[in-house]
Structure 1
Amino acid sequence: MVAEVLAVIAALLAVASLSLTVVITRRIGSRDPVAVPLMWRRILRIQPLPSAAGSFMTPRDGNEKIAFIANPTKSGIEELREQALRACSIRYLPQPLWFYTTADDPGTGQAEAAIEAGADVVVAVGGDGTVRAVAQALAGRGIPMGIVPMGTGNLFARNLDLPLGDTQSILRTVLEGAERKADVGWMDIRRAYPGHGEDGRHLFLVIAGAGFDAEMVAGADDRLKRRLGWFAYFFAAIRHLGEKRMKAWVSVDGGEEIVGHMRTVLMANIGKLPGGISLIPDATMDDGRLDVATLDARGGLVGWTELFGQVMAQGAGIKDTRLLRILRTSRIDHVRGTEFDIRMDQPQKVQVDGESLGRASRIHAFVQPAALTLRVPQGTVPQRTDEPKTADCASDDADASPSI
C-alpha cells in the first residue's frame, strides 16, 4: 500500500515537473527561439521570430574590406561563405577574406593577420570562445567587429540583440549595421597550482566568475551541449549544488576588503543569459564600469530555490528582492566599479564567457572602456541608465555574503 502511494506521488511530481518544464520552455522560446534545442522547438511548435525587414542599403564605404575569422568545426561554414560572397558582391565590395581558427589559436592570431591584410571590418564566426578571441585582438584598435553567432550559448550575440538563426539578417548587420562602442573586462588570475590552466590576462565580454558558476561551466558535457544547447549547463549545475561555500575577500576600486561566504562571485560587463534571464540587470556594456555580484545559498535545496527566485525576480525588473527571501537562506549582493581584487581561502575554478581557466586563488579584474566598435542591427542600441544600484544589503543574516 505504501509503495502504491509513493508511486502515485512520484507520478504526480513527474507530471508537475514536465508541465512546468513545458511552460518555461515555451516562454523562453517565445522570447528567443534559438535558445531552445531544435527537437524541442518542433515538439512544442515554437515558431522562429520574423526576419528583420528592409532591403539592402548602400554600404558606408564601397571599398570596405571584410575579413571573416571562422571556427571550421561549426556546421554551415561553406554555405555562409557563399552567402557572404554574394552579399559583398551585390554591394560592390571587395571579395571577403577568410581565416580559420585552430585548436592552438582560437582567433586572436587570425584577427591580427586580418588587420595586417588591411581588413576594415573583422567578423567573428563561431561561439563565444571565437568572439572573445577576436575581440582580444581588436580591443582598443577602433576597427569595427561583426559577429556571426554559431555557438551553444552565443551570450554576447544575444546581448547585442543579433537575429540568431537568420543568416541574411546577420550579414546585413555585418555589412550595413549601426556602430556602437562597448567596454571589455580583463581578468588577471593568480594560478593556484603551477601548470593548471592558462596563465596571464584574459578578456571577457559578458561574465567572468569563480566558484559555482565556473564549476558548472567546467562540468558541462560537450555531447549534451551539442544536443541540448545551453540546457546542458543545468545538468552540470545539479552536480555541484551540495558543494561547500567559499570564503572570499573583495576589494572595490582599491577600497577596504570585505569578507564573506558565498557560492560564487561574478564580474559582469553585461548581465543577460540565454532565455532572456537577466542575472545582473543593471550591467550595461557601455557605462565604463563592471558589475560584481556575490550569490549565496544555504539550507540545501531550499536556499537554492530561494536564490533562483531572486534571480528570476531581478530578470523581471524587481530590483529589491528582500521580500522574496522568506526563509532568509539566500542573498545577492552587487556593486559597480572599475577595478576589483578578490582573494579566496581555497583555490576555486574560474571562467570567462563560458570558458574554463582552471583554478585560481586570487583574481584582479578591471574594465577597458569603449574598447570595441561593434556592428549591431539598426535601432537596437539599448537605453542607458546611470541610476545607482539597489543592492540586497540586509545585515541580519547569519554567516552572510559581503554587502559589497
Structure 2
Amino acid sequence: MINRFLFYYLLCICFQISAQKEIASKHIANLSSNEMYGRGYVKEGHNIAANYISKEFCNYGLKPYNENGFFQGFNINVNTFPNKIQVSLNNKILETGKDFILEPQSGSAYGSYDLYRFDPNLSIEKQLDLPVKTVVVLDVSKVKNIDSISVFEELKHEIAKVFPVIMLTKNKFTWSVSSFAFPNPVIQMRPSDLKNKQKIQLNISNKFINDLSTQNVIGEIKGRKDKYVVFSAHYDHLGMMGDVIFPGANDNASGAAMLLSLANYYAKKKPKYSMMFIGFAAEEVGLKGSSYFVNNPSIDLNKIQLVINLDIVGTGSEGIAIVNAKEQENSVKKLIRINNKNKFFSKVKIRGQAPNSDHYWFSQKEVPAIFIYTMGGIKAYHDIYDIHQTLPLDNFKELYSLLVSFVKKI
C-alpha cells in the first residue's frame, strides 16, 4: 500500500513538472506575440506585459506589492521609433531588421542624401565640410582591433551630432534600447548593400520620451520564517523599430515564464521562507527597474537570504551559467551538488560578478544574489529572430526542478 501510494505521488509530481513546460510555453507565446509589441515603449507594450504578469499573480493568490496592487511605479527616459521607417537604395526599400538596423540612440532624418565614405587616413576636419544632405559612411567591417573599434565609436558619436551616419559591419545585427538620443540617425548596414551606391533615401523619425512611467510587478507569498527568497526576471524587451517587432521570446519571455511557473508552484505550498516574485521593468534600458527597487525596497533588504535572477532560460542543451557564483560560493556549491545528483544539466559554468542583469544592484547593496541563464540552442538575441516558435525549451523543466530542489536547501 505504501509503495502504491509513493508510486502515485511520484507520478503526480512528474506530471506537474511536465505540465509546467506546456504552461510556460503558452506564457512565452503570449508574451512574445504581436499583441505585446515587443514589450517596449511603443503602443504601450511594456504596460500590456505588466498587466499580463500582474493578472497571473492575482490568479495565483499572491499578496500584492501594496494596497494599490502589484505595481511599483517609476519613471525613465527612453528613445523610441513609433512611426514607419524606410531606408532605400536606388529605389529598393531595405527590410528593417534584416538589411539594416538603427542604433538605439538614433535621431530623425528625411529625404535623399549623398553618401560620403570617411577615410580614416585623413583628418576629420578636412572631411566634415560637407553639404547638409550628406550621410557619412564609416566602414568598420574589417576592423578587429578593440582600440580601433573604440576610435570609430567615438567618431560615430561626434559625426552624428552633425550628419546621419552609416556603420558598415559584417557582425550580426543586435539592437538595444537607449536613454538618450543623437540629433541624427546611425544606421548599421552590410558593406555589400552599399557597394557602388552614391545616394540613399531616408524616412526615419524618433520620439524621445522624458519621464515615461513604467513599473516593476511584485508579488509575495508569506512563509513560515520572516526571511525571503527572491525570484526575479525582467519582462521588458526592445519593442518596435518602426512597424517591425522584436519579440524577445528567449530574452526574456522565458525568464518571465519561469517566474510565473515558480510563483504558481509556491502559491500552493507553505514555504519555509517568504517568497517574493519580481518582474522587473526597464532592464534593457540599463537595469533601471532593479536599481529603483533596491533603492526603494518593499521589504528590509537584510531579510533577503538570496536573490535568484532568471534571464534567458529557454535553452539549456549545453548547461547553465551562474553569474556571481564566485561571490556566493556556498549557495552555488549546494546547487551544483543537487544538479550532479539529479543530472539536470551537463554543465554548470561558474562566473564572477558582472553588471549584465538585474541581480547586479542587489549585489552592490551586499544582498546575496545570483543570475542564472541557460546555454546552447538558438543564437537569436536582441534581433527579430528571437521568436517562440524556434525556442526549444529543451531543459526548461530541468531548470524548474533544480530551482525548486535548491530552494529547499537554502
Q: Under a length normalisation based on structure 2, what TM-score does the superposition of the two structures give?
A: 0.27
Q: Computing the radius of gyration over CA atoms, which structure comes out larger, 1 or 2?
A: 2
Q: Under a length normalisation based on structure 1, what TM-score does the superposition of the two structures give?
A: 0.27
